[in-house]
Amino acid sequence: MQERAPELSSALRFAGKVALITGGSRGIGAGISERFAQAGASVAISYVRAESAAEEVAGRIRVAGGQALAIRADVSRVEDVEGLVSQTMERFGRLDVLVNNAGVYPLSPLLDMADREWEQVLAANLTGTHYCTQRAARAMIELTTGRDNGKSSGSIINISSIEAASTAFAHSHYTAAKAGVEQYTRNAALELGGAGIRVNAVAPGLIDRPGLAQAWPDGVKRWMDRVPLARLGTPEDIADACLFLASPLARWITGVTLTVDGGVLAAPAF
Question: Which residues are marked as active site?
Answer: 174
Specify which residues 27 forms β-bridges with.
none
Helix H or strand E segment including 97? strand 97-100
Q: Are 34 and 61 in contact (CB under 8 A)?
A: yes
Q: Which residues pair with 207 in a beta bridge?
A: 233
The CA distance from 20 to 33, in Å, is 8
Three-class secondary structure of residue 71 per DSSP = strand
Report the number of secondary-structure helices (H) and strands (E) in the chain: 9, 7
Residue 20 · residue 46 · CB < 8 Å: yes
DSSP H helical ranges for the chain: 27-38, 51-63, 78-92, 115-122, 128-144, 172-192, 212-215, 217-226, 235-246
Phi (first) and psi of residue 209, to 5 degrees:
-155, 160
